[in-house]
């Protein structure tokens, strides 16, 4: 029988009544997908929890203490019986609640079930504030803080931000990397931002960024892990840095997929790097590109004086234009001088050429290409303002003789019509500056003139136009394709990235990206901005009624054309039916002007006369001329001007006229400007450019057309610098007809132009099925 061992000694129990609990806070996150009743969709949301427990010795407890509850734990040969301290525990709860925490009413997998007393905060911003500003003071007070794996606000601080620029010599592009340094490691931010934009486009859209305060931050997870615990790195990106970065690097929004850690940009896009200058960044490389960006941005600081040989005093904005062109020339890039008509684009360009000659750089000729009607204007202004420039006009049958001596001249003048014919000769002539005046003439990139212009060899290319965009964004692409081939991509890329989103979907963000890209290379000043001495322009819609015979014919033509147009659209679709649509609208517009434009000479009298509009015009002219007004009268139709002439002759009203057939344009202009005649008849196409008629104080548009830019150019014959009187602009519109609908559609096209050229908020115009309904609607 084995000996019986003595019973173990009963542990000695000690009561502890004065031990204060040590607060322990566990922080965790969980991403859940829940059904949202308000939207009827499954939505993803982050849940975060703070689990509060109390440490008594080495025992953790949580929840409300029961009366007299004690915690037992063994310490060697003795057992401690520790009294829970409800008052102290409640004080710790209250401390949490003072920080904004409240008891969590819903269960969450952010922390293990029943592991702690669960608390939550009201918002992501509150959690961020807690971890950034309130966590450290709690630790200093003795709180134990444990962040569970995956806690969303377990953040690593950013040591620095950097930019790396690689600019290979002899290349037209550069690589840019922008990143942060965390725990001594460089991390490119571009793939991170691109991923965010792809997953949640609304988060970093231009509109969303504008709503964010500079003091707000964005929490981002990086594809790296911490050394000490292997957890993914998370950092905070402040919006005061994100905004200029995303505004500068708009290509991020256009990338279809990540392209390594760099962004490859055209050298010309370096202009936008100046947008990063305000940020505290460590730059590595790219000194030349940064200088390029800063000079283009700060061109007004360039110390440039007008050329000595210029016979004119430049207004302040004209001197700015000269500084801009000179800066572009020094940086070896081109641009569009897009000033409103009448602000002196020719004068600024002549001053630019004179400065080049003064600096000894004009060692080869410069060339200006223009509409034929502008040749006299350039000849006159060059002789008047820059007589020291040797000018040769490559126009007429004798021009071939000049080709043997082109290098003897400073400035060559030619036309869009002759350029394709002479291109094989001109393409071999090295040029200093190549200027396209009224550059909208190459708005169709496949035209002979545009293709010929692209073959010319010049150190600098410039476009002059008051209407860089008349109808659609493709025209703007064509100008930049001439200035900087490839910069805006090919037509397919440009349509995908810009035209379709902006014109068809009204995408304001894409519009903003485009305007920021082109802004350094498009100098556009409106009269209202720079020419305070110009008198106001008053536009008045003058409504007229059709005569009974016009109404009858209008309905007859409308029914026939409506049927024809709908058949064409059914067969070919809206986009490919433009010619038939425009032809139908042309006939309706002609009816609105005068029956005789459609039916030829109407020998017998018709009900109410051949034109209610012509009758109304004659009444207006009688009144306006009696008031001593000086009037420009525009029409699209030279045949309509002939009918107006007949009426004027029958009333013995004196007038002068310019149409496409007019050979001598100077004489009628001189007679009108000298006050010999009070009325000037002008066809819109012939008179839209090259005329300076400041003697006029009244403009009448007899018939409207889609293009508000064309009408505005015509109006600007009178409303330009040198005008000392208010200008009144009357538009004659036949009520309830296609003319009224055109007037309404004009506004939409004007919005597209304003959106791109003036960085407006909205842009988008297209002919829609509803427009067809409106244009061919019956008379009321």
Give me the CATH number covering residue 726: 3.40.50.300
Task: Report pLDDT for 230.
Answer: 59
Confidence at residue 628, expressed as pLDDT on a 0 to 100 scale? 81
What's the number of CA atoms in the CB half-sphere (13 Å) around residue 421?
Answer: 11
pLDDT value for 721: 64
Q: What pLDDT is stored for residue 349 in this prediction?
A: 95
Torsion sign, CA atoms 132, 136, 137, 143 = positive
Indicate the number of domains in the chain. Answer: 4
Kind and range of the H or E element at 560? helix 548-572
Q: Which of 385-389, 535-539, 638-642 has the lowest mean pLDDT?
A: 535-539
pLDDT tens-digit map of 637-670: 889 999 999 999 999 999 998 887 777 878 888 8
- Any residues with CB less than 8 A from the CB of 173 and at least 6 apart, and which? 264, 265, 266, 267
Check residues 133 and 298 and name the one with the higher pLDDT. 133
> Which domain range does residue 99 map to?
12-147
- Same structural domain for residues 89 and 61? yes
* 679 and 699 within one domain: yes
The mean per-residue pLDDT over the stretch 214-234 comes to: 69
pLDDT score at 15:
84
DSSP 73-133: EEETTEEEEEEP-HHHHHHHHHHHHHTT-EE--S--TTS-TTSSEEEE-SSHHHHHHIIII
Q: Name the helix (H) or strand (E) containing 664.
A: none
Q: Which pLDDT value is given to residue 497?
A: 77
Residue written as token pair 């003058």: 542
Whether residues 349 and 467 share a domain: the answer is yes
My answer on whether 640 and 739 are in the same domain is yes
Three-state secondary-structure class, residue 56: strand
Residue 595 lies in a domain: no
For the ranges 539-543, 583-587, 685-689, which has the lowest average pLDDT? Answer: 685-689
pLDDT band, residue 722 (cuts 50/70/90)? low
More reliable by pLDDT, 610 or 158 = 610
**Region of poorest pLDDT, from 201-210, 541-550, 747-756:** 747-756
133, 556, 592, 612 from 607: Cα distances, Å: 87, 16, 15, 11
Q: From residue 357, how far is each of 312, 314, 366, 605, 659 by CA, in Å?
A: 17, 18, 10, 66, 38
Distance separating alpha carbons of residues 93 and 338, to the nearest angstrom: 67
Q: Report whether pLDDT(386) > 90.
A: yes
The band of 298, judged by pLDDT with boundaries at 50, 70 and 90, is confident
636 lies in some domain: yes
Q: What is the pLDDT of residue 257?
A: 47
**What are 757-771's pLDDT values in tens digits?**
554 443 344 567 777
- The answer to whether residues 153 and 219 touch, using CB atoms and an 8 Å cutoff, is yes
**Are the beta carbons of 27 and 50 closer than 8 angstroms?**
yes
Establish if 166 belongs to a structural domain. Answer: yes
Q: Are residues 757 and 653 in the same domain?
A: yes
Residue 202: pLDDT band by 50, 70, 90 thresholds?
Answer: low
Quick check: is 574 in a domain?
A: no
Distance CA 778, CA 20 (A): 90
- CATH number, domain containing residue 372: 3.40.50.10810
Distance CA 96, CA 556 (A): 83
In three-state secondary structure terms, 182 is strand
Among 265, 297, 329, the domain-final residue is: 297
Q: Is 660 found in the same domain as 514?
A: no
Using 50, 70 and 90 to split pLDDT, how confident is the model at 723? low
- CB distance 497 to 474 below 8 Å: no
Q: Give me the mean pLDDT over the 79-105 stretch.
A: 91
Work out the average pLDDT over 419-425.
90
Residue 134 is assigned to a structural domain of this protein = yes
CB 254 within 8 A of CB 494: no
Q: What is the structure's pLDDT at 755? A: 57
φ, ψ of residue 501 to 5 degrees: the values are -60, -40
The verdict on 291 and 366 lying in the same domain is no
In this structure, the answer to whether residues 511 and 542 fall within a common structural domain is: no
DSSP assignment of 711-722 equals HHHHHTTTSSTT
- Asked whether 700 and 634 are in contact (CB, 8 A), the reply is yes
pLDDT of residue 268 exceeding 80, the answer is no
- The pTM score is 0.64
Q: How many CA atoms lie within 13 A of 267 on its CB side?
A: 18
pLDDT over 50 (residue 740): yes
The C-alpha torsion from 636 through 639 and 642 to 646, rounded to 10°, is: -120
* Interval 494-522: pLDDT, tens: 888 777 777 777 777 778 778 878 888 88
Query: Which residue shows structure tokens 């990086």?
Result: 222
**In the numeric block, which tokens belong to residue 492?**
């397919």
Joined together, the tokens standing for residue 552 give: 């009858």
Higher pLDDT, 459 or 283: 459
Same domain, yes or no, for 344 and 484?
Answer: yes
Do 374 and 493 share a domain, yes or no? yes
Confidence label for 409 from pLDDT (cuts 50, 70 and 90): very high
pLDDT digits (tens, 9 = 90+) for 340-370: 766 788 999 999 999 999 988 999 999 999 8
Please give the pLDDT value at position 21. 92
Per-residue confidence (pLDDT) for residue 90, from 0 to 100: 92
Beta strands in 647-737 (DSSP E): 656-658, 679-683, 698-701, 727-734
Range from 1-15, 51-65, 177-191, 394-408 carrying the lowest mean pLDDT: 1-15
Residues 230 and 336 in one domain: no
Q: Is the pLDDT of residue 3 over 70?
A: no
Average pLDDT, the chain: 80
pLDDT above 90 coverage of the chain, percent: 19
The residue length of the chain stands at: 780
pLDDT tens for 425-478 read: 898 899 999 999 988 888 888 889 888 988 999 999 999 987 777 677 878 888
Q: What pLDDT is stored for residue 254 in this prediction?
A: 60
Taking residues 562-585, report their average pLDDT: 79
> Confidence class of residue 228 from pLDDT cuts 50, 70 and 90?
low
**Residue 759 confidence (pLDDT):** 46
676-694 confidence digits (pLDDT tens):
999 999 887 776 556 777 7
324 and 407 share one domain: yes
Residue 552 lies in a domain: no
pLDDT beyond 90 at 2? no
Q: How far is CA 221 from the centre of its chain?
A: 31
Q: Is residue 634 part of a domain?
A: yes
240-255, pLDDT tens digit by residue? 777 777 776 665 556 5
247 within some domain? yes
């Amino acid at each position: 029988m084995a000996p019986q061992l003595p019973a173990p000694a009963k542990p000695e129990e000690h009561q502890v009544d004065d031990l204060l609990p040590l607060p322990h806070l566990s922080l965790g996150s969980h991403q859940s997908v829940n059904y949202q009743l308000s939207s009827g969709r499954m939505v993803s949301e982050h849940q975060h929890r703070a689990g509060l427990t109390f440490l008594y010795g080495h025992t953790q407890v949580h929840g409300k203490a029961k009366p007299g509850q004690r915690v037992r734990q063994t310490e060697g040969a003795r057992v401690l019986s520790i009294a829970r301290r409800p008052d102290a525990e409640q004080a710790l709860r209250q401390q949490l609640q003072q920080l904004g925490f409240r008891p969590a009413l819903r269960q969450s997998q952010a922390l293990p079930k029943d592991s702690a007393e669960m608390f939550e905060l009201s918002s992501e911003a509150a959690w961020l504030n807690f971890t950034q500003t309130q966590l450290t003071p709690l630790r200093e007070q003795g709180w134990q803080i444990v962040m569970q794996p995956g806690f969303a606000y377990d953040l690593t601080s950013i040591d620095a931000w950097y930019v790396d620029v690689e600019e290979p010599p002899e290349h037209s592009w550069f690589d840019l990397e922008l990143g942060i340094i965390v725990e001594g490691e460089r991390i490119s931010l571009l793939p991170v931002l691109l991923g965010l934009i792809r997953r949640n486009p609304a988060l970093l859209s231009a509109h969303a960024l504008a709503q964010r305060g500079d003091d707000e931050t964005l929490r981002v997870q990086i594809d790296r892990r911490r050394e000490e615990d292997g957890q993914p790195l998370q950092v905070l990106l402040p919006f005061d840095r994100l905004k200029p970065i995303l505004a500068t690097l708009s290509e991020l929004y256009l990338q279809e997929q990540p392209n390594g850690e760099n962004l490859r940009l055209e050298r010309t896009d370096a202009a936008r790097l100046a947008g990063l200058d305000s940020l505290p960044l460590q730059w590595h490389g790219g000194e030349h590109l940064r200088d390029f960006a800063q000079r283009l941005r700060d061109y007004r600081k360039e110390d440039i004086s007008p050329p000595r040989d210029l016979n004119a005093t430049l207004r302040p904005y004209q001197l700015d234009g000269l500084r801009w062109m000179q800066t572009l020339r020094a940086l070896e890039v081109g641009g569009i001088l897009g000033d409103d008509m009448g602000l002196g684009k020719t004068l600024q360009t002549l001053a630019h050429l004179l400065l080049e000659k003064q600096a000894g750089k004009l060692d080869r000729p410069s060339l200006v290409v223009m509409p034929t009607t502008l040749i006299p204007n350039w000849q006159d202004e060059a002789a008047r303002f820059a007589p020291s420039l040797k000018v040769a006009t490559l126009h007429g049958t004798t021009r071939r003789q000049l080709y043997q001596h082109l290098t003897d001249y400073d400035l060559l003048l030619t036309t869009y019509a002759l350029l394709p014919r002479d291109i094989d000769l001109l393409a071999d002539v090295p040029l200093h500056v190549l200027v396209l005046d009224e550059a909208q003439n190459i708005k169709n990139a496949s035209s002979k003139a545009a293709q010929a212009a692209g073959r010319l060899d010049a150190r600098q290319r410039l476009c002059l136009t008051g209407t860089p965009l008349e109808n659609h964004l493709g025209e703007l692409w064509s100008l930049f394709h001439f200035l900087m081939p490839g910069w805006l991509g090919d037509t397919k890329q440009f349509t995908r990235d810009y035209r379709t989103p902006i014109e068809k979907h009204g995408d304001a963000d894409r519009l903003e990206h485009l305007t920021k890209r082109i802004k350094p290379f498009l100098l556009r000043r409106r009269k209202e901005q720079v020419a305070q001495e110009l008198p106001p322009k008053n536009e008045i819609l003058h409504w007229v009624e059709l005569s009974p015979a016009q109404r009858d014919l209008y309905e007859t033509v409308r029914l026939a054309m409506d049927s024809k147009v709908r058949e064409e659209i059914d067969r070919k679709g809206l986009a490919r039916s433009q010619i038939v649509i425009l032809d139908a609208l042309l006939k309706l517009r002609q009816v609105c002007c005068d029956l005789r434009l459609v039916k030829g000479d109407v020998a017998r009298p018709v009900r109410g006369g051949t034109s209610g509009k012509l009758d109304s015009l004659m009444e207006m002219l009688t009144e306006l001329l009696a008031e001593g007004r000086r009037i420009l009268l525009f029409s699209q139709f030279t045949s309509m001007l002939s009918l107006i002439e007949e009426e004027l002759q029958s009333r013995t009203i004196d007038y002068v006229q310019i149409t496409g057939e007019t050979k001598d344009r100077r004489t009628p202009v001189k007679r009108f400007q000298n006050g010999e005649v009070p009325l000037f008849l002008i066809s819109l196409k012939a008179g839209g450019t090259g005329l300076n008629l400041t003697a006029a104080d009244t403009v009448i548009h007899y018939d409207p057309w889609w293009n508000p830019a064309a009408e505005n150019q015509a109006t600007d014959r009178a409303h330009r610098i040198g005008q000392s009187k208010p200008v009144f602009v009357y538009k004659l519109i036949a009520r309830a007809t296609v003319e009224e609908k055109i007037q309404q559609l004009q506004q939409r096209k004007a919005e597209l132009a304003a959106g791109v050229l003036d960085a407006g908020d909205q842009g988008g115009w297209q002919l829609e099925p509803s427009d067809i309904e409106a244009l061919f609607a019956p008379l009321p």
